[in-house]
């Protein structure tokens, strides 16, 4: 498979949207060019024959490790909230996510 | 230069907890304005630790790192101490818990004197991506210390502390160790718990030591390694107690070292002689160095720059401006706006670039061509390395394709910056242990040589490096401005 590395500006805009990142038009153009260059260099991946190889997702012998379902030490609510930018009544406070029905 | 063992012994014998710490703090005060290695150095916290150590010493405890001053990279959580990852996003973050490595270091008697500067979220090769200022290389303050663990490396090189911790995702311990003329180890994946290390690329990240000698690096590794139920990827492999003090048996004589032929095409012309001289040094010390065909070194860099950003884009999705992180001023109409504005304003340029890359290569339609393919290349790479290591004790390469570069030289060229990782990323992709030891100076600047070994052969690698350091004095060279005790 050959990777087409030239990225369109529209694709870059879409990826920014997926990434929850906001760019000015100028920044987006610059980023588009940089990402295209980076993707060009990573297209070397095509040189390696990989037919029949499994993907290595992580190195080492992994299996799920289970423990008894018992409660143990955990963070108290105050510590859990201490780094939140906004809290109210022991909860994280965010912008309203449900619109008001008039 | 005293070894860690001697430093700890002196504290134990004198019963004086602050024997080395005061000197460390005065060196920090003297040199920090010129170098900028640290993001924080909380003196009240130091005194608090010293009081606690003093009473442990009075109780007759013998600790392997008694009174040893240490610096941690600022992506390692210390309860109650700011941990910023050199990012505005975590500019105010105060962890409510300790990383496992810090718990272990405290138990061993070490005293934290500062948190080190780094590239934001460990993404970078020069520490220039820090949101809070540059760190200068003690050998030449116009140059970078390397990265991403640049502050940790420069702090040891300048003599702030005898040892420090960094994290290595693609070379972030070994490359700055090479640039700063010290010893740095990326342990086998799973040797050291990542609990409390702010995640960048979870299948590649590993915490490891910086030190002035391989012997000290081994002792520090002994104190931080081990299975941890809090990190599902930590290995149950027993920690070799001999790491605390490497046995005397020589290992370098007769060791078989593989020298990949491709090195000569990847190393710039002007550095070939210096590297060749280092290879000859290893031969003189009794190692059999043999050229081998080791494939995929260039492709490993491509695989790395697909896999690491992909994992980063996923890991950094947690910074949504709700549970932690700084939130920009103003009102937000929707939750999406809150998240987008927080991320856009609080992440730096390189971090955003990697999130973008990772999001792209993981997206529908590109996943197979990039991410899945990169993971298969990773398998091919590991097979090739494991095969080579059946016949060799270790693989010998330069650590970096050159010495420390000038501040600002590569900052606008991400592709050139990424190239500084060409010799180091393989160890992360394969999970294998690798270390950098100082070799010859090049135009007055340190250069490192890398040894990469079999799974869990960290001690063997450190012993080879120890033997090299017994016979040579490269690791004893220090920059002029350094203060070493």
In the numeric block, the tokens 């203060």 are attached to B483
Does residue A5 register a pLDDT over 80? no
B115 is catalytic: no
Q: Which of B232, B327, B377 to mutate to test the interface with A (most CBs of A within 10 A)?
A: B377
Q: What angle is formed at CA B188 by the lines to CA B185 and CA B194, rounded to 5 degrees?
A: 90
B335 and A94 Cβ atoms separated by less than 8 Å = yes
Residue A17, domain extent: 9-47
Question: What are the tens digits of pLDDT across the range B394-433?
Answer: 999 999 999 999 999 998 888 888 888 999 999 999 999 9
Three-class secondary structure of residue A69 per DSSP: coil
Which residues of B fall within a CB distance of 8 Å from A67?
229
Residue of B nearest to A2 (CA): B369
Q: How far is CA B44 from CA B15, B47, B160, B421, in A?
A: 21, 5, 18, 38
**Strands, DSSP E only, in B348-446?**
394-398, 434-438
Residue A2 confidence class, pLDDT cut points 50, 70, 90: very low
Sequence-separated (6 or more) residues with CB below 8 Å from residue B352: A19, A21, B343, B344
Sorting pLDDT into bands at 50, 70 and 90, what band is A64?
confident
Percent of chain B with pLDDT strictly greater than 70: 100
CB A84 within 8 A of CB A92: yes
The answer to whether residue A3 is domain-embedded is no
- What is the average pLDDT value for chain A, to the nearest integer? 88
Q: Is residue A21 part of a domain?
A: yes
In a domain, A82, yes or no: no
Q: Which of A30, A95, A100 is most worth mutating to test chain B (most B CB atoms within 10 A of its CB)? A: A95
Question: Which of B360, B412, B421, B430 to mutate to probe the A interface, most A CBs <10 Å?
Answer: B360
B312 CA to chain A: closest CA distance, Å? 11
Q: Is A27 within a domain?
A: yes
Residues of A within 8 A of B343 (CB-CB) are 19-21
Under the banding of pLDDT at 50, 70 and 90, the label for residue B238 is confident
At residue B266 the predicted structure's pLDDT band, cuts being 50, 70 and 90, is very high
Q: Which of B478, B484, B485 is nearest to B137 (CA)?
A: B478
- Residue ranges of E strands in B220-268: 256-260
- Output the pLDDT for position A63: 72
Banded pLDDT at B338 (limits 50, 70, 90)? very high
Per-residue pLDDT, averaged over A39-65, amounts to 87
Contact residues, A window 11-70, toward B, CB-based 8 Å cutoff: 11-12, 15-16, 18-23, 31, 34-35, 37-39, 41-50, 53-60, 62, 64-65, 67
The kind and range of the H/E element at B276 are helix B272-284
Percentage of chain A lying above the pLDDT 90 cut: 66
Whether residue A91 lies inside any domain: the answer is: no
Question: What is the distance in angstroms between the Cα of B283 and the nearest Cα belonging to chain A?
Answer: 32
Cα(B175)–Cα(B402) distance, rounded to whole angstroms?
10
Chain B residue with minimum CA distance to A30: B353
Q: B96 to each of A82, A84, B178, how far by Cα in Å?
A: 8, 12, 34
Distance from CA of B65 to the nearest CA of A (A): 28
Nearest Cβ partner of A19 from B321, B355, B373?
B355
The residue-averaged pLDDT of B35-56 equals 98
pLDDT tens per residue across span B123-181: 999 999 999 999 999 999 999 999 999 999 999 999 999 999 999 999 999 999 999 99
Instruction: Determine if the peptide bond prior to B148 is cis (ω within 30°).
Output: yes
The answer on pLDDT for A1 being more than 50 is no
B172 catalytic per annotation: yes
pLDDT score of A3 more than 50: no
Both structure tokens of B228: 């941890």
Chain mean pLDDT for chain B: 96
* Domain at A17, CATH number: 1.10.20
φ, ψ for residue A14, nearest 5 deg = -65, -45
In a domain, A32, yes or no: yes
The reply to whether B356 touches chain A by the CB within 8 Å rule is: yes
Residue A28 CB burial class (10 angstroms; 0-12, 13-18, ≥19):
middle
- Rounded mean pLDDT of A38-52? 92
* Minimal Cβ distance to B356: which of A31, A59, A83: A31
B151 close to B39: Cβ distance less than 8 angstroms: yes
Q: CA B419, CA B442: separation in Å to the nearest integer?
A: 19
| pLDDT tens per residue across span B185-194 | 999 999 999 9
Which long-range contacts does A9-18 make (Cβ < 8 Å, 24+ apart)? A11/B360, A12/B356, A15/B356, A15/B359, A15/B360, A15/B363, A16/B356, A18/B359, A18/B363
Q: Tell me the CA end-to-end span of chain A in Å, nearest whole number.
A: 54
Q: Is B430 on the interface with A (CB under 8 A)?
A: yes
State how far residue A74 is from chain B, nearest Cα, in angstroms.
10
**Cα–Cα distance for residue pair B244/B221, rounded to 1 Å:** 8
Nearest-Cα distance to chain B for A68, in Å, is 13
C-alpha span between B5 and B216 (Å, rounded): 8
Q: How many domains does chain A fold into?
A: 1
DSSP state of B426: H
What is the arithmetic mean of pLDDT over B75-94? 97
Give the homologous superfamily in CATH for domain B4-255+398-476.
Answer: Amidase signature (AS) domain (3.90.1300.10)
B332 contact A CB<8A: yes
| Averaged pLDDT, B254-276 | 96
Band of residue A98 on the pLDDT scale cut at 50, 70, 90 = confident
pLDDT at residue A4 is higher than 60? no
The answer to whether B466 contacts chain A (CB < 8 Å) is no
Nearest to A21 among B321, B343, B377 (CB): B343
pLDDT at A61: 60
Would an 8 Å CB–CB cutoff place B79 in contact with chain A?
Answer: no
For residue B331, the model assigns a pLDDT of: 86
Statement: residue B474 has pLDDT above 70: yes
Cβ-Cβ contacts under 8 Å, A16 against chain B: 356
Predicted complex ipTM: 0.91
Active-site hit among B126, B148, B157, B167: B148
């Amino acid at each position: 498979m050959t990777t087409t590395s030239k990225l369109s500006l529209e694709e870059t805009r879409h990826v920014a949207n997926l990434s929850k990142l906001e760019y000015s038009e100028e920044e987006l153009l610059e980023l588009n060019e940089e990402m295209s260059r980076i993707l060009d260099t990573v297209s070397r991946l095509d040189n390696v024959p990989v037919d029949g190889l499994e993907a290595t997702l992580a190195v080492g012998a992994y299996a799920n490790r289970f423990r008894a379902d018992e409660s143990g030490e955990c963070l108290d609510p105050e510590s859990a909230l201490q780094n939140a930018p906004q809290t109210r009544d022991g909860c994280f406070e965010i912008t309203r996510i449900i619109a008001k029905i008039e | 230069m005293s070894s860690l063992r001697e430093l700890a012994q002196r504290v134990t014998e004198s019963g004086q907890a602050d024997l080395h710490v005061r000197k460390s703090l005065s060196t920090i005060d003297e040199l920090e304005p010129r170098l900028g290695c640290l993001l924080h150095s909380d003196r009240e916290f130091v005194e608090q630790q010293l009081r606690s150590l003093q009473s442990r010493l009075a109780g007759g405890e013998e600790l392997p790192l008694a009174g040893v001053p240490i610096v941690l990279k600022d992506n390692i959580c210390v309860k109650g101490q700011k941990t910023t990852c050199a990012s505005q996003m975590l500019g105010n973050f105060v962890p409510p818990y300790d990383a496992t490595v810090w718990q272990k270091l405290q138990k061993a008697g070490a005293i934290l004197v500062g948190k080190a500067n780094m590239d934001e979220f460990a993404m970078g090769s020069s520490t220039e991506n820090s949101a809070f200022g540059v760190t200068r290389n003690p050998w030449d303050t116009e140059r970078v210390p390397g990265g991403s663990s640049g502050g940790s490396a420069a702090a040891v090189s300048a003599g702030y502390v005898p040892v420090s911790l960094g994290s290595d995702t693609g070379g972030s311990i070994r490359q700055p160790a090479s640039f700063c003329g010290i010893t740095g180890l990326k342990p086998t994946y799973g040797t050291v718990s990542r609990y409390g290390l702010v995640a960048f690329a979870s299948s590649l990240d590993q915490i490891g030591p910086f030190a002035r000698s391989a012997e000290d690096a081994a002792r520090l590794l002994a104190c931080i390694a081990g299975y941890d139920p809090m990190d599902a990827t930590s290995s149950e492999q027993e920690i070799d107690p001999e790491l605390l003090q490497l046995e005397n048996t020589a290992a370098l004589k007769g060791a078989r070292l593989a020298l990949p032929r491709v090195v000569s095409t990847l190393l710039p012309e002007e550095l070939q002689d210096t590297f060749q001289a280092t290879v000859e040094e290893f031969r003189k010390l009794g190692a059999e160095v043999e050229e081998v065909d080791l494939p995929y070194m260039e492709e490993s860099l491509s695989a790395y720059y697909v896999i690491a950003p992909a994992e980063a884009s996923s890991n950094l999705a947690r910074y949504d401006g709700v549970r932690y992180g700084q939130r920009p001023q103003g009102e937000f109409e929707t939750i999406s706006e809150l998240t987008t504005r927080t991320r856009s304003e609080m992440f730096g340029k390189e971090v955003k670039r990697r999130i973008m890359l990772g999001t792209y290569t993981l997206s529908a339609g590109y996943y197979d061509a990039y991410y899945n393919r990169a993971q298969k290349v990773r398998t091919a790479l590991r097979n090739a390395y494991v095969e080579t290591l059946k016949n060799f004790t270790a693989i010998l390469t330069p650590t970096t394709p050159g010495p420390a570069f000038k501040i600002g030289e590569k900052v606008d060229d991400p592709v050139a910056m990424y190239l500084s990782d060409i010799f180091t990323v393989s160890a992360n992709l394969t999970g294998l242990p690798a270390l950098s030891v100082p070799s010859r100076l090049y135009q007055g600047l340190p250069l490192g040589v890398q040894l990469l070994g079999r799974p869990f052969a960290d001690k063997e690698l450190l012993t080879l490096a120890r033997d090299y350091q017994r016979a040579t004095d490269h690791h004893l060279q220090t920059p002029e401005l350094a203060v070493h005790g």
